[in-house]
A and B are shown apart, each in its own frame.
Chain A
Amino acid sequence: MRAIETKQISLDVGMFQLKDVNISIPAGKITAIVGPNGSGKSTLLKVLTRLVRPDHGEVYILDRLSRSFTSLEFARTVSMLTQSKSALPDLTVRELITFGRSPHKRMFVRMNEEDEEAVEWAMQATGTKRLEHRMFHTLSGGEQQKARIAMALAQKTGIILLDEPTTFLDIAHQLDVMEMLQKINLEYRMTIVMVLHDLQQAAHYCHYLLAMKNGKLVTSGEPRHVIHADFLKQVYQINARVSFEDEYPIIIPMKTLPH
């Protein structure tokens, strides 16, 4: 079963481009999208979540044409953690997470039991329950990221996309967030798709990997089989040594190659 599939996606937004991108993301798995800066990873994620409309091509979510969903239907099917660092209003963690229920609510309908359960579940899954009455802006970077992920989880979608969920975190919090996502994938069979910069983490935590370069899909497959020295040469234009230590790839960058 395919969670997400694209057919010939093209988009030209000046700096970033997508050219005839055909991808297929397996359901119930963790998929990483990697590639150099400006390769179109984030743009692709925005196309998949309908934040940006492609010039050509179609996106299919669970084998259904993505643009045939209503706005609310779509938000009940796909959620996303954006990269934005924009300041949020004065909110408690619980209030923020409760916003994740909006796609399930009509205008004046109050929170029902199902909503409360979803919020509780999202807090349990992300370990943010103990923070529920803290003000969001008083949290540390890692805690904020978890609270934002909890909001996306509260939408109760089967598919969640994350744009660089670990970029601004220290190494311990990075692992913390990755382990949390791994657990969510295992326990609830959620399809997780994330843009990552750290190839070692991508290989360690993800079942599937897509590599982008210059707006094109370069290669895809299981990280173990994809990440090797030639791959790094081709995608990142660096010389590197790659070895494996119990499933965990060790990538030692050596030198950049001339373009």
Chain B
Amino acid sequence: MNVHQRSRRRKAAFILTPILLLFIVFYGLSYGSVPISFQQIWAVFTSADSQPVNEKIIMNLRLPRVLIGLLVGACLAAAGALLQGVMKNPLADPGIIGVSAGGGLAAITAMILFPQLSYLLPMLAFLGAFITALVIYLLAWDKGASPLKIILAGVAINALLGAVTNGIMVIYSDRVQAVLPWLAGGLSGRSWYHLGFMAPYALIGLALTVFAVKPANLLLLGDDSAKLLGQKVELQRFLLIVLSALLAGTAVSVAGLIGFVGLVVPHAFRLLIGDDYRFLLPLSILGGAALVVLADTIARTWFDPIELPVGILLAALGAPFFLYLLKKRRLM
């Protein structure tokens, strides 16, 4: 990729990604057991003589679900992009290395044991995700964290957290029913209530990524180089981990365990426009939002009458991509 190609691709990505996102949002609002045309959707929002049925479907069902999908996708992709930089590992994804599982375990524990705390779910999921990220990083650390060690430590932690989660579910099998829809990793049945409790965390987290751009870029040069340029590398890395955990934990708290968005989206953009976080982060946020809404719409319409959890669809898409990356990086 030479410099002209790169600047052309950056421009194209910044024009096309938002347009694509807009189309996908309309697609998500329009498709379902009752198809609603673009004009009718328009009518609902401008409240020019729209049909009450359409208005109910859009406002009560599809709109909150699409909005949650947007935020979940944006958070997961941003968390993935940041974790990849912080952990110096292009394969880091909150779902693969156990950060999401940490948030998930915290959330499940709260839902089953302290159901009255449900309004604190994003906070608890954040704490779970944060502690997990920190443990993985410390386990992999030996005068620098090697990419392979992070993946290995992360996979092991992921398995451990999965076991504990399953254990809790078996022990409290009488209460699992309430948790199941969440556990499958999807947006089914999510409403304004869910949007209300996750949106503040998501928006704060996404806004804070503005501060992550410069340190993330400097970390790309390597720890020593960043230090020699006057950066407090350890502190910055710690703060970036906190931010990734906030983003991943927020997504997990409302959508359950959705993997691979944080891997696939930033990586696709890396291949396309390079590693520079000034471009990578905003594009990943838009792209992640688009991918989750698109996948969720497909998952709930294409397999009618079954509504597939979006997490399953994304895993089916993401796992082969992960294998492809392992092959390409000669890690396998």
Given contacts A89-B220, A107-B214, A133-B3, contact A102 B231 (CB under 8 A): yes
Interface presence of A103 (CB below 8 A) = yes
Interface presence of B227 (CB below 8 A) = yes
Residue of B nearest to A73 (CB): B230
Given contacts A75-B229, A107-B214, contact A88 B1 (CB under 8 A): no
Given contacts A82-B225, A135-B1, contact A88 B230 (CB under 8 A): no
**How far does the Cβ of A82 sit from chain B's closest Cβ, in whole Å?**
5
Residue of A nearest to B227 (CB): A51
Complex-state Cα separation, A50 to B230, whole angstroms = 10
Complex-state Cα separation, A213 to B11, whole angstroms = 55
Q: Which of A66-118 contact B (CB under 8 A)?
A: 71-76, 79-80, 82, 84, 86, 88-92, 95, 99-100, 102-103, 107
**How far does the Cβ of B246 sit from chain A's closest Cβ, in whole Å?**
19
* Binary A-proximity of B259-277 (CB < 8 A = 1, otherwise 0): 0000000000000001110
Complex-state Cα separation, A92 to B218, whole angstroms = 15
Interface presence of A31 (CB below 8 A) = no
Flag if B221 contacts A88 (CB, 8 Å): yes
Interface presence of A155 (CB below 8 A) = yes
Kindly identify which residue among B211, B220, B230, B276 contacts A103, using a CB–CB cutoff of 8 Å: B230
**How far does the Cβ of A209 sit from chain B's closest Cβ, in whole Å?**
24
Interface presence of A134 (CB below 8 A) = yes
Flag if A71 contacts B230 (CB, 8 Å): yes
Contact residues in B for A89 (Cβ distance below 8 Å): 220-221, 274-276
Kindly identify which residue among A72, A90, A107 contacts B6, using a CB–CB cutoff of 8 Å: A90
Contact residues in A for B230 (Cβ distance below 8 Å): 71-76, 102-103
Kindly identify which residue among B2, B3, B214, B225 contacts A84, using a CB–CB cutoff of 8 Å: B225
Flag if A155 contacts B229 (CB, 8 Å): yes
Interface presence of A145 (CB below 8 A) = no
Flag if B222 contacts A86 (CB, 8 Å): yes
Residue of A nearest to B211 (CB): A107
Flag if A79 contacts B228 (CB, 8 Å): yes
Contact residues in A for B175 (Cβ distance below 8 Å): none
Complex-state Cα separation, A79 to B1, whole angstroms = 30
Contact residues in B for A71 (Cβ distance below 8 Å): 227, 230-232
Contact residues in B for A135 (Cβ distance below 8 Å): 1-3
Contact residues in B for A82 (Cβ distance below 8 Å): 222, 224-225, 228
Contact residues in B for A152 (Cβ distance below 8 Å): 228
Complex-state Cα separation, A75 to B228, whole angstroms = 6
Given contacts A75-B230, A99-B218, contact A92 B224 (CB under 8 A): no
Flag if B229 contacts A100 (CB, 8 Å): yes
Which of A50, A90, A135 has the most CB atoms of chain B within a 10 A radius of its CB? Answer: A90
Complex-state Cα separation, A73 to B232, whole angstroms = 12
Q: Which of B221-263 contact A (CB under 8 A)?
A: 221-222, 224-225, 227-232
Given contacts A102-B218, A107-B214, A135-B3, contact A51 B228 (CB under 8 A): yes
Kindly identify which residue among B1, B211, B228 contacts A90, using a CB–CB cutoff of 8 Å: B1
Flag if B229 contacts A102 (CB, 8 Å): yes
Contact residues in B for A95 (Cβ distance below 8 Å): 276
Contact residues in B for A43 (Cβ distance below 8 Å): none
Interface presence of A39 (CB below 8 A) = no
Complex-state Cα separation, A9 to B2, whole angstroms = 47
Complex-state Cα separation, A134 to B228, whole angstroms = 24
**How far does the Cβ of B88 sit from chain A's closest Cβ, in whole Å?**
9
Complex-state Cα separation, A76 to B231, whole angstroms = 12
Residue of A nearest to B223 (CB): A51
Residue of A nearest to B232 (CB): A71
**How far does the Cβ of B123 sit from chain A's closest Cβ, in whole Å?**
27
**How far does the Cβ of B159 sit from chain A's closest Cβ, in whole Å?**
30
Contact residues in A for B276 (Cβ distance below 8 Å): 89-91, 95
Complex-state Cα separation, A91 to B225, whole angstroms = 15
* Binary B-proximity of A115-142 (CB < 8 A = 1, otherwise 0): 0000000000000000001110010000
Complex-state Cα separation, A216 to B1, whole angstroms = 48
Complex-state Cα separation, A134 to B3, whole angstroms = 7
Interface presence of A49 (CB below 8 A) = yes
Complex-state Cα separation, A64 to B311, whole angstroms = 58
Contact residues in A for B1 (Cβ distance below 8 Å): 90, 135
Complex-state Cα separation, A50 to B1, whole angstroms = 36
Contact residues in B for A100 (Cβ distance below 8 Å): 229
**How far does the Cβ of A14 sit from chain B's closest Cβ, in whole Å?**
10
Residue of A nearest to B215 (CB): A107
Which of B3, B214, B220 has the most CB atoms of chain A within a 10 A radius of its CB? Answer: B3
**How far does the Cβ of B118 sit from chain A's closest Cβ, in whole Å?**
37
**How far does the Cβ of B172 sit from chain A's closest Cβ, in whole Å?**
47
Complex-state Cα separation, A152 to B225, whole angstroms = 10
Complex-state Cα separation, A185 to B20, whole angstroms = 55
Contact residues in B for A91 (Cβ distance below 8 Å): 276
Complex-state Cα separation, A90 to B276, whole angstroms = 8
Residue of A nearest to B280 (CB): A89
Q: A92-B3, A152-B228 are in contact. List 9 more A-B contacts (CB 8 A).
A: A49-B228, A51-B228, A72-B230, A82-B222, A84-B222, A89-B220, A89-B274, A89-B276, A135-B2
Closest 8 CB pairs of A and B: A75-B230, A89-B275, A103-B230, A90-B274, A72-B230, A89-B220, A102-B229, A71-B230
Q: List 14 A-B residue pairs with CB atoms under 8 Å apart, sorted by A's residue number.
A: A71-B227, A72-B230, A80-B228, A88-B220, A89-B221, A90-B275, A92-B3, A95-B276, A99-B217, A99-B221, A102-B214, A102-B231, A134-B3, A135-B1
